[in-house]
Each structure stands twice: as C-alpha cells, then as structure tokens.
Amino acid sequence: MQNLTLTWQTSAVASVVLYGSAFAVSRSGRRPVVRAALREAGTLLALFSLWQVVGHLSVMSADHALDRAEWIHRTELRLGLPDEASWQRAAEPYPWLVQGANYYYATMHFGVMLALLLWLFVRHRARYAWVRTTVVLTTLACLLIQFIPVAPPRMLPDSGFVDVAAQYGQSVYGGAVAGVVADQLSAMPSVHVAWCVIVAVAVIKVARGRWRWLALAHPVLTVWVVVVTANHFWADGLVAVGLLLVVYLVQYAASGWRQADLAVPETKRSQEQGAAPEEAPGPSPSPAHAEAVAEPAFRPQQPRAVAGATRMSKALEVPEGSRSGPPGRPAG
C-alpha cells in the first residue's frame, strides 16, 4: 500500500488554484454553491499541506523521539493503563484481522472525514461551518504539539511492539529522511482519534433517528486500530480528545459572545454611535384623542367679576327672530 499521493507542494498548489477559481466565480456573481464548494475544498487542501509540512519540520532528533516514546510507555504502565503490546499480541495470530486493521488505518481516517464534510455541505449546510471549524482548530492544535517529535510504538521493538503494516506490506509511509520517515515522528497527539470523535459527535448531533448512534462504532474501531497496529499510545488519543474538548469550549464561548452581541437593542447601538433612536411608528390617534391632546392642559382662570359679567350678558341677549315686535307678542 502506497502513501498518500498528494505531497505538501501538490496540495498547496491545488489549494491556491481552488481559491483562485472560487474568486473568479464570485466575480461573475453566479453559482454561489460552486464558489462555496471550491473555497471549502481549497481550505481542506491547505490544511492537509500544512499537516505534511509540520510532519517534516518535526524531525529534529530521532533519538530523542524514541526516548519520549519510551517515557510515555513507561508512564502508562506505571499509571495502570493496559499495555498496548499485549493488545497487539492478541491480534497477531489472525492475519486477516491485522490486515483489516492496517487497511482501516490507511483509508478510513481521511475517507470518513471527507464523507462527513460532503454530507454536511450538501444536506445540512447550516451545520457545516461549525464542524469544519472544529476540524481546522483541532488539527492546528495537534500540529502545534507535533512540532515536538515523538515516535510511535511500532518503532520500539524492545518494548514488544511490531510494525505489522510493514510486515504485511501495507505501510502508508514512503521514503525516509535521514533514515526515519518524518510523519512517523508525529505520533503525539493522535489526529486519527481526534477526527473520529469529531465524526461521531457531528453525526449524532445532526442526524435524526436511532441509527445515528452507530456512528460511535467509528471512534471505538479507530482506537482499537491505532493500538493494534502500534501507531499510537493510549496517551496520544487522550491528549487529542482533551484538545478537542478545549476547541468545543472555545467554539461554544465564541458562539455565546456572538449571540450576546446580536442581542444588543438597536436603540442602544444608536445611542452608542451618538444618534438619537428612531421611535417606532404606532397607531394613529383617534380625533377625540387628537383634540384632547391639542388642547392645553392648563387654562388660565378669569377673574370672578369678569366671569360673572360675561354670564349676565349672555343671559340678556334677545333672540334675533324676536327683536321686531313688542315683548310677549309674536312678530308678524
């Protein structure tokens, strides 16, 4: 089995081409789905290229990488964790089982993740960005730690481990640098374990129905595979899951901050910017209400003498129709 065919140079160039294509499509103003697909594919290829580069940069000293691996193994045994070598010895009598584990390790890591992202992008676009961001942040966190070279268990034959992938001709690692393949020294933490947990969590959260719980089989199988093939220690997976939990907390906090910011009333924002808030239009007042509002609330009182004279003059006024005849006799 050959290594991944894409080198970091090839994936970097392909990422640039995809981003350029996405920009060209956006300038045309058409097909936003195509633009988004090109951009997301370019992002994943850029992440893959960075992963490959970090794998090469992590080669500092093979001796120290082996020493760190031995220290991890001794510490696990001291803490009472099961010996990974015993798990491998239990599977070695079954060649079909070991070969299946090698094949699962080589193909399902990228295959399942790509299938998940494609499913989310096509069927659940609203959830896609969250999961993609989780993958990017978790992988970057793992890459930062992988700058410190740590050898995988299969490079410790004195501790009872066997490189079963090389034994069956299924190794995914290609040419060596100074006698050691660069990516082999990036065992801590396990990106395999981190990604399989992301897949399970995403499927369970997004899908509906009881069948979604079958996604838990993927992290269980992956953990078993990385141990039986001697590609990772227990500690590699535990550190990866810890980083994933931190990423989830950061995303949750950032989401809460965004929602709190969007919840600020528009009037408050206008006041912060120095502008008076506009009043919301209400129902038009009735004529009686408008007349009452138009009248002044305070009326100045007239003096009592003036008010009495006014009432007396109104009482002495004679109707206009009765002024032509004498009093008590109708006019005519």
Q: What is the pLDDT of residue 272?
A: 53
- Which structural domain range is residue 90 located in? 62-262
Task: Indicate whether 182 pLDDT > 50.
Answer: no
Confidence of residue 330 (pLDDT cuts 50, 70, 90): very low
In a domain, 289, yes or no: no
pTM of the model: 0.70
Task: Indicate whether 324 pLDDT > 50.
Answer: no
Alpha-carbon gap, residue 228 to 218, rounded angstroms = 15
Alpha-carbon gap, residue 134 to 159, rounded angstroms = 35
Q: What is the pLDDT of residue 154?
A: 95
Q: What is the pLDDT of residue 27?
A: 79
Regarding whether 52 and 134 lie in a shared domain, the answer is no
Q: What is the pLDDT of residue 183?
A: 64
Nearest alpha-carbon partner for 107 in 185, 42, 183, 196: 196
Regarding whether 149 and 84 lie in a shared domain, the answer is yes
Regarding whether 163 and 42 lie in a shared domain, the answer is no
Regarding whether 206 and 69 lie in a shared domain, the answer is yes
Nearest alpha-carbon partner for 239 in 226, 254, 252, 253: 226
Q: What is the pLDDT of residue 310?
A: 54
pLDDT tens, position by position, 219-244 = 999 999 999 999 999 999 999 999 99
Regarding whether 143 and 8 lie in a shared domain, the answer is no
Regarding whether 131 and 21 lie in a shared domain, the answer is no
Looking up tokens 């989780």, which residue turns up?
Answer: 134
Looking up tokens 């004529």, which residue turns up?
Answer: 287
Section 198-216 average pLDDT: 94
Give how many domains the chain has, as a whole number.
Answer: 2
Q: Percent of the chain, pLDDT > 70?
A: 68
In a domain, 24, yes or no: yes
- At 150 the three-state DSSP class reads strand
Q: Is the dihedral of CA 59, 64, 68, 73 positive or negative?
A: positive
In a domain, 26, yes or no: yes
